[in-house]
Amino acid sequence: MNTIYSLKAVLSELLFDLFGVDDIAIDLQETKKEFNGDITLVVFPILKRSRLSPEATAELIGIRLLEKTNIIDTYSVVHGFLNLTYSRGIVIKTFDTIKATPGFGIRKVDKSLPSSMIEYSSPNTNKPLHLGHIRNILLGMSISKILQASGMNTIQVQIINDRGVQICKSMWAWSQFSNGETPESSGMKGDHLVGKYYVLFDKEYKKQVSQSISSGVSEEEAKKSVKCIVQVQEMLLQWESGDSEIVKLWSKMNNWVYSGFDKTYKRLGTDFDKNYYESDTYLLGKIDIEEGIKNNVFFRKKDNSVWIDLSSDGLDEKLVLRKDGSSVYMTQDIGTAIQRFKDFEINSLTYVVGNEQDYHFKVLFLILEKLGYKWANKLRNLSYGMVDLPTGKMKSREGNVVDADDLMDQMELAAMKLSNELGKASFYDEIEHKELNISLGHGALKYFILKVDPKKRMVFNPDESIDFNGNTGPFLQYTHARISSLIRKGRGEQSKWSWDDFSLTEKERDLILFLSKFPEIIDSAALNLNPSIVASYLYDLAKIFNSFYQQHSVLNAETAQIVAFRVDLCKQIVSVMKTGLGLLGINAPDRM
């Protein structure tokens, strides 16, 4: 339907007829604000074939274009730039199409097609979620919605790192220090309680190490031999051998953590279709390694460890099985990926993972390709930069993290405070007001994180980073609420309008043309695994609307027909805003 595509088709034919140029040379781009027009053809690439001056070439194309199509109304030539203005007819048609398309921008999903699997969050169970997880979760959640909107079925999964030395540390400390403390008895969220003991372990460990050192043991030796760490190692072995007491404790503490995570996920608005647990999957992959040895993908060294040589791909040798036959991370990831393609009818798998693991995933994908899985080229990595604090890196075991729950509390509080300052509280009853502050606080946080290109590293300053003015979530929500209000108030206006009743203002044209880009924006965000594309589109849309709003009155427009038309236009804008914010996981309140 898109006007740019139809224009490109016409141009393609025309330029071939005129000069014999191919599509590659057709460079169409939006016209800069300073010039008249909507879209610009850059004619420089055509000059070689046209053998005319830039101006003459542009003129010639302009004239012919007007003869050939009614998409374009007028043109102007500035140097080598042919600026084209869409005709009223095509603008009208564009708006009619948008209006006639329910859920404009969202492509229908064919349920019978294979799905795309997205893995994200992937927490450890020894500590609560923090700001780093928030970036991961928001990206995963948002990209899942975007993929759905672009017409894919999705399966959202997380792999929960529920075993290993980390959780044993929490278990050990709890056994030592807790006196049987539980989430119920302490009133703490389960994940926070377990995290508390993880930090306690670290303190105790450091204490024991320094005591050991002062009694004459070398630092290196002390770190390995201190009582608490030795006991943790024993615990891990007991867990692996299925010791019932240990497994019971492990299971109890993990369940505390899960109920805590569930609350946080719910608050963030995410939900997984399936959880994978590392305790179930950590043995996967060994069989595949054996298979790969037979096929000469892997090789065994003298000490019995198994490797893959990736030097011909510009990478190193990589271990896939230890000399004692036990797995490394890579082993599990190989096995888990293969398992997933068996478990589900999926045709792609996207991992949302911090960029510190780029190398790991590059290797993983390469190994799976070498193992001959044809879906290996459908593996993707949405890699994102770390979130650091002004004071440096967050470290859970040292406790200097921005906790996910605390952060959301803080955001809600800030929204409440601002709303009271602005004197808006009186419009609402208490519950409604609370919900609104949740929407706005979370909107600010989500937009702050998602508007940035995922691959950029970001510094988060809890005191300064979050704003409610300017290029922010609440600004978009405010714009949405404002338009909603117009529609509410305009409901009484029953006038019918037709295109013959009025001419379009410049801002109205801008809005219609800008709205029409929404589907491409979604496709582009899906293709690039980048929600920030949606975020900046919505921001631009809001800017254009607010500018329109300031210049023209909707409800007090010159005639009843124009009022009716503008209300209709508002309906389309509000729909795109709401859909778009939804893709970012942000609520769009009707008033605020």
The answer to the question of residue 300 lying near RNA (CB under 7 A) is no
Q: Provide the residue type at 68 as one letter.
A: K
- Footprint on residues 20-49 left by RNA (CB under 7 A): 27, 29, 31-32, 34-35, 37, 40, 42, 44-45
Q: What is the DSSP letter of 107?
A: P
Place of tokens 């049987």: 180
- What is the nearest approach in angstroms of RNA to the Cβ of residue 111? 32
Q: Which is nearer to RNA, 178 or 536 (CB)?
A: 536
Task: Taking each helix axis as running N to C, give the angle between helix 227-240 and helix 165-177, from 0 to 180 degrees, rounded to the nearest 10.
Answer: 120
Q: Is 51 in the site for RNA (CB under 7 A)?
A: no
Nearer to RNA, 290 or 358 (CB): 358
- Whole-angstrom Cα distance, residue 142 to residue 199? 32
Q: Is 267 near RNA (CB under 7 A)? A: no
| Distance of closest approach, residue 544 Cβ to RNA, in angstroms | 9
CA dist 365 and 4 (Å) reads 37
The contacts of residue 81 (CB under 8 Å, 6+ apart) are 35, 40, 41, 42, 43, 58
Nearer to RNA, 186 or 304 (CB): 304
By the rule CB under 7 A, 463 interacts with RNA: no
Tell me if 187 contacts RNA by CB under 7 A. Answer: no
First to last CA, the chain: 36
Residue 12 touching RNA (CB under 7 A): no
| Amino acid residing at 158 | Q
Stretch that binds RNA, among 65-73, 210-218, 262-270, 475-483 (CB under 7 A): 475-483
Among the listed residues 370, 358, 356, 360, the one whose alpha carbon sits nearest the alpha carbon of residue 289? 370
Contact 28, 7 (CB under 8 A): yes
Instruction: List binders of RNA among 151-170 (CB under 7 A).
Output: 161, 164-166
Coil/strand/helix, residue 35: coil
Q: Which residue of 380, 552, 560, 582 would you call a contact of RNA, by CB under 7 A?
A: 552
Q: Does 432 bind RNA (CB under 7 A)?
A: no
Instruction: Please give the size of the binding site for RNA, defined by CB under 7 A.
Output: 90
Q: If you count them, how many residues does the chain have?
A: 592
Query: How do strand 306-309 and strand 299-300 relate by DSSP bridges?
Result: antiparallel
| Bridge partner list, 276 | 159
Closest CA to 254 of 168, 336, 179: 168
As a whole number of angstroms, the distance between CA 583 and CA 577 comes to 10
Beta strand 299-300 pairing with 27-30? unpaired
* Residue 395 contacts RNA per CB under 7 A: no
CB 381 within 8 A of CB 361: yes
Minimum CB separation from RNA for residue 355, in Å? 6
Options 356, 409, 432, 435; binder of RNA; rule CB under 7 A:
356
Among 404, 486, 521, 574, binds RNA (CB under 7 A): 486
Task: Give CA–CA dist 460/391, Å, rounded.
Answer: 10
Figure out which of the listed residues 50, 419, 516, 579 binds RNA, where binding follows CB under 7 A.
Answer: 419
Q: Name the segment binding RNA (CB under 7 A); options: 59-67, 143-151, 223-231, 482-490.
A: 482-490
Check residue 451 for interaction with RNA (CB under 7 A): yes
* String of DSSP letters for 290-337: HHHHHTTSSEE-TTS-EEEE-GGGT--EEEEE-TTS-B-HHHHHHHHH
Site for RNA contains 252 (CB under 7 A): no
Taking residues 302 to 341 in sequence order and writing x for each that binds RNA by CB under 7 A, - otherwise, the string is -x-x--------x-x--x--xxx---xx------------
Nearer to RNA, 148 or 472 (CB): 472
Among 178, 357, 410, 505, binds RNA (CB under 7 A): 357
Using the rule CB under 7 A, is 17 a contact of RNA? no
Q: Which of residues 510-549 bind RNA (CB under 7 A)?
A: 532-533, 536, 539, 542-543, 546-547, 549
Supply the minimum distance, in Å, between the C-beta of residue 108 and RNA.
Answer: 25
How many other β-carbons are positioned within 10 Å of the β-carbon of residue 245?
A: 8
DSSP code for 374: G
Binding residues for RNA restricted to 58-117, rule: CB under 7 A: 78-81, 83
Query: Site for RNA (CB under 7 A): which residue of 128, 195, 335, 474?
Result: 474
Q: Which tokens is 544 given?
A: 């254009």
Q: Which is nearer to RNA, 45 or 114 (CB)?
A: 45
Q: In angstroms, how far is CA 4 from the centroid of its own chain?
A: 27
**Nearest 5°: CA angle at 109, between 108 and 115?**
155
Residue closer to RNA, measured from CB, 107 or 322: 322
**Which residues in the 117-146 window bind RNA by CB under 7 A?**
124
Contacts of residue 130, defined as CB under 8 A and 6 or more positions apart, other chains included, come to: 394, 396, 401, 402, 403, 404
Binds RNA (CB under 7 A): choice among 485, 504, 505, 582:
485
Q: Which stretch binds RNA (CB under 7 A): 146-154, 263-271, 289-297, 417-425?
A: 417-425
The reply to whether 440 sits near RNA by the rule CB under 7 A is yes
Nearest CA to 254 among 132, 163, 137?
163
User: Which positions from 194 to 233 touch RNA by CB under 7 A, shown as an x/- string?
Assistant: ----------------------------------------
From 283-291, 369-377, 385-393, 394-402, span contacting RNA (CB under 7 A) = 385-393
